[in-house]
Each structure stands twice: as structure tokens, then as C-alpha cells.
Amino acid sequence: MTTGRIPFPTLLRVETRKLVDTRGSKVITGVLAVLTAGAVVVRGIASGPELHTAAVTAGIVVGILLPVLAILTVTGEWSHRTALTTFTLEPRRGRVWAAKCLPPLVASVLACVFAMLVAAPVTAAVAAAQGVPADWRVALPALAGWTATTVLLTAQGLALGTVLMNAPAAIVVFLSNAVMWSVVARLGSAGEAATQWLDLNTATIPLVNGTMTGGDAARVAVSSLAWIVLPMAAGMVRTMRREVG
Amino acid sequence: MGVIEFHRLSKTYSDVKALDDVSFTVPAGSVTGFLGPNGAGKSTAMRILAGLSRPTSGSATVLGRPYAELERPGYDVGTLLDASAQHPGRTGREVLTLGAMMLGLPRTRVDEVLELVGLTGKEGRRPVGGYSLGMRQRLGIGHALLGRPRALILDEPANGLDPQGIHWMRGLLRDLARSGCAVLLSSHLLHEVEQVADRIVMIGRGRLLAQGTPAELGRGRSLEQTFLELTAAADRGLA
């Protein structure tokens, strides 16, 4: 008989498998891959053969769909009440949650790599078709910043899903964020400042552009604290304390 | 010493006493029927036992330890708390595969368990959303048995089973008890437990009403009469 706790890699494998082991999750993953590749192709054709532009366009798709997938992952145990079996096999809920949150974060990095891999042949093909030289220049700081931003947005989805424990609520909050902040930004200088410091999307613009300054980094940190660290901390407290029924 | 022990367990939700000073044990090699009307506190007690809910006072232990302290509980205790609590898009086989992965069991165990609970290979490949309640109960019992545990906690496992299914489950639980397993089985229907249980614990309005062997509890009268009188008395006591 095996003794000792379930090894963390095993929990990771189980939670990763849960991402793609139902028809619904397979469809989402498929849609994600198709839309990511599609965005790269369409942008490549529209804007000409520029590798960086084509790849980063995929970030718009990835930055919305991966956080939604992340929300569905962390709320699924509650909405389908599978927490009943999951937490009886591993009562240390924090370990389960860590195993649940890591795969979407890794998937965010992989999605960015995937976008680059699709963008390269698209750039070459567009250059050949339009008879113009391809622009292969890639700004590494911008590429790293874009990847980091995608990871942050997925983390925001995980945090919102964990604290709200309800997929529709978390998805609405996540998607209405941009609208809400565009309104706040118009509320005079105070609203503008609040948007710069508290809206993750606004704060990460310099990160995506690869033009980070010290002040920009502080704004990314503060908005991440507000939208990732604090909700995740509150969500973990709720998760640990919740009576499962 | 019992494999499963409840010691002076109480649980209060705002102003409702769901459990009030409940103590009993489930010894190895026995089937204990946990009997009581709906809302008597059976599920609350079993969820506290499985570490999913916190007691207000008292304790519940498996193999002498609180559930949360068991290193890999699936090997010590199998639980079926709600057969309907499944992702509808996951197949029965996948549910068992995830459990087997968590316990570090080979995939052949999944096939063994499917056969043990009478689900065909074809049924195992179907999403649980299309299962009848009886099939979900079979799947849940199979999931509980994956790690060949020494204790079983089954909350209303006979719900939705057809007569053949109930007959099958009785035989299975008797075999498990004979091999040394401590089985705690809840039901709100007396006839579901009286034929399989070695011991019966009756609960009503959160309080332990009686416990003993079916013969002891019947005391010459029918067990059903005892059950109805005791639960009626518990209801009056509250009013």
C-alpha cells in the first residue's frame, strides 16, 4: 500500500486532466486554439508580414478566453459539487487549489509560444503572397511583457473565480472590467489616476509595449495587488473555511 | 474501539441544532445502519466525519484520527456522500480514472471497479449527465471502493436503486463487512437497512434516539414500531 500524502505532481496531473476531460472543456480548448491561430492569420494578412504584430494580436483572444477557462476551472468544483469527492480524496484544500491554478498559468505562457509559432509561417506566407519583405524584428522586452500580461490576466481570472465561487458572476466581473474602467477614466483627474493605478488592463499597457519604467512597474504591482493578490487571498480563506455540501 | 467514532458531536447552524451530543461507533467487520427521518442530521454527521464540515463541539474520527489528518484518506475510508454531485460531462470511467490517479492506482483497477459495481464498458464511456440515479449510486459506490478502504461512509446509497440494485448492494456490503470493513450506511427507510445492518443507530432532530442490534431495538415488537415511536417522540420533544 502506498503511504504518505498524494505527491503534488500527481495532483497537478489530475487537475490538468480535468481541464480537458469533458466535452465542454474540449470545445473551449479547441475554440481557443482556432481563434488564436485565426487572429494571427487575419492580422498577418491585414497588416502585412510583421511577425511581432501578428503574434501579439493573438494576445487579445488569449487574454479573454484563458481567464474565462481559468474561472471555469476554479468554480467547477462548486458548480458541479465535485468538491465533495475531490476534498475527500485530498482534504488539504490548499494543495488542490495550487494544483488547480498552475495549469492555466502555464497554459498562458504556452498560448503565447503557440501564437509565435503560428505567426512565423503566416508572416513568411504573407510576405511571399504580397511580394514585400517580411519584418522579422521582435522586441524581446515587449514579447516578454505581453506574455507576462497574459499570465496576469489569467491569474486575475483564477482570483475572481476563487473568491466569487460562481462562474457567471466571475465572468461578468472580468468582462465588464474594461467597460467600467473606461467610464471611471472619464471622471476627471481622480478617475484617471484611479484607472492608471487600479485597472490591470491600463496598468499593463507599458508592459505590452515593452516600455516599462519604475512608475509603470509600481502601477502594475498595485493593480495586481487589487485584482489578483487580494481576491485570491480572500478566496483561499473562503475555500478553506467553506462547508462542503 | 470503533474504526469510525463519533464523540459527543454537536453542530449548530445559527439557531438550529442539526446535531446534539451524538456519540456512537462503527466497529470493524460490521454494517451499521444510520437511520432517521429526512433532516434528522445524518448527512451533517457524515460530512463532518469526512472533514467537509466543522463540528460546533465534539469530534468525529476515522481510525482514531480526524479525517483531515489522514495522509491519503482514499485508502482508509471510502465515501459516497451524494451520488448526484458529479460533472455531467465527465464519463463514469473518467470519474474513476481521476480517483485512481489520485490514489496512485493502476488503470486496471478502474475496470475491476466498473465490473464490481455492474456498469458495462459501454455505460462507463457515457457522460454521467445521462446516468440514472441508480447508475450514479453504483458509480459512487465504485469510486468509494477504489482504494480497498477499511471503512465506508455511504449516505443514502439505496436512493434510486431498483430492487435488484438494492439486493446487489446488500450482498456487496455484507461481503465487505465479512472481510473486515467497517460500513456506515445511512437511510431514511427502515426496510433498506434492517436486512443488512448488524447494528442500527437511530437519530431524530439531531439527537441519538437508540442504538443496538436489530433484535435489541425491536424488543419483541417490530423494529418499525420502535422507529416510528422514537421519531414521533423526538418531534414532540421539539414542539
Residue among B52, B72, B84 minimizing CB distance to A6: B72
Chain B closest-CA separation from residue A195 CA (Å): 39
Average pLDDT over residues B89-115: 97
Verify whether the Cβ–Cβ distance B98 to A87 is below 8 Å: no
The Cα B179–Cα B168 span in angstroms is 17
Nearest 10 degrees: Cα torsion A25, A31, A34, A36: -100
Amino acid at A57: T
**DSSP per-residue string spanning chain A:** ---SSPPHHHHHHHHHHHTSSSHHHHHHHHHHHHHHHHHHHHHHHHH-SBHHHHHHHHHHHHHHHHHHHHHHHHHHHHHS-THHHHHHH---HHHHHHHHHHHHHHHHHHHHHHHHHHHHHHHHHHHHHHTS--B----HHHHHHHHHHHHHHHHHHHHHHHHH--HHHHHHHHHHHHHHHHHHTTSHHHHHHHHHHH-HHHHTHHHHHT---HHHHHHHHHHHIIIIIHHHHHHHHHHHHPPP-
Q: Which residue in B56, B65, B70, B71 has the most chain A C-beta atoms within 10 A of its own C-beta, making it the best mutation to test that interface?
A: B71
**Cβ-based contacts of A5 with chain B (< 8 Å):** 71-72
Query: What residue has cell string 466569487?
Result: A164
- Asked whether residue B239 carries a pLDDT value surpassing 60, the answer given is no
Q: How confident is the model at residue B227 (pLDDT cuts 50, 70, 90)?
A: confident
- Asked whether residue B3 carries a pLDDT value surpassing 80, the answer given is yes
ipTM of the complex in this document: 0.93
Highest mean pLDDT, choosing among A141-145, B115-119, B226-230: B115-119
Q: Count the Cβ atoms, other than its own, within 10 Å of residue B224.
A: 12
C-alpha cell at B88: 455531467
For residue B213, give the 3-state DSSP assignment. coil
| Burial of residue A154 (number of CB atoms within 10 Å: 0-12, 13-18, 19+) | buried
pLDDT in tens, A104-152: 999 999 999 998 888 899 999 999 998 999 998 888 899 999 999 999 9
Q: What is the CATH number of the domain that holds B145?
A: 3.40.50.300
- In whole angstroms, what separates CA A179 from the centre of its chain? 18
Q: How many structural domains is chain B composed of?
A: 1
pLDDT in tens, A197-236: 999 999 999 998 888 899 999 999 999 999 999 999 999 9
Chain B closest-CA separation from residue A17 CA (Å): 8
pLDDT at residue B238 in the model: 58
pLDDT at residue B220 in the model: 67
Chain A closest-CA separation from residue B235 CA (Å): 25
Decide if B104 contacts A2 (C-beta within 8 A): yes
- End-to-end CA distance of chain A: give it in Å, rounded: 30
Average pLDDT over residues A181-198: 93
**Cβ-based contacts of B51 with chain A (< 8 Å):** 87-88, 91
Residue among B82, B98, B127 minimizing CB distance to A84: B82
- List the domain range (segments joined by +) for residue B210: 4-238
The Cα A28–Cα A71 span in angstroms is 12
Percent of chain A clearing pLDDT 90 (strictly above): 69
pLDDT at residue A241 in the model: 95
Q: How confident is the model at residue A56 (pLDDT cuts 50, 70, 90)?
A: confident
Which residues, other chains included, contact A9 with Cβ-Cβ below 8 Å and sequence gap of 6+?
Answer: none
Verify whether the Cβ–Cβ distance B85 to A87 is below 8 Å: no
DSSP B65: B
- Asked whether residue A169 carries a pLDDT value surpassing 90, the answer given is yes
Q: How confident is the model at residue B192 (pLDDT cuts 50, 70, 90)?
A: confident
**Cβ-based contacts of B54 with chain A (< 8 Å):** 243
What's the mean per-residue pLDDT of chain B? 93
Verify whether the Cβ–Cβ distance A88 to B51 is below 8 Å: yes
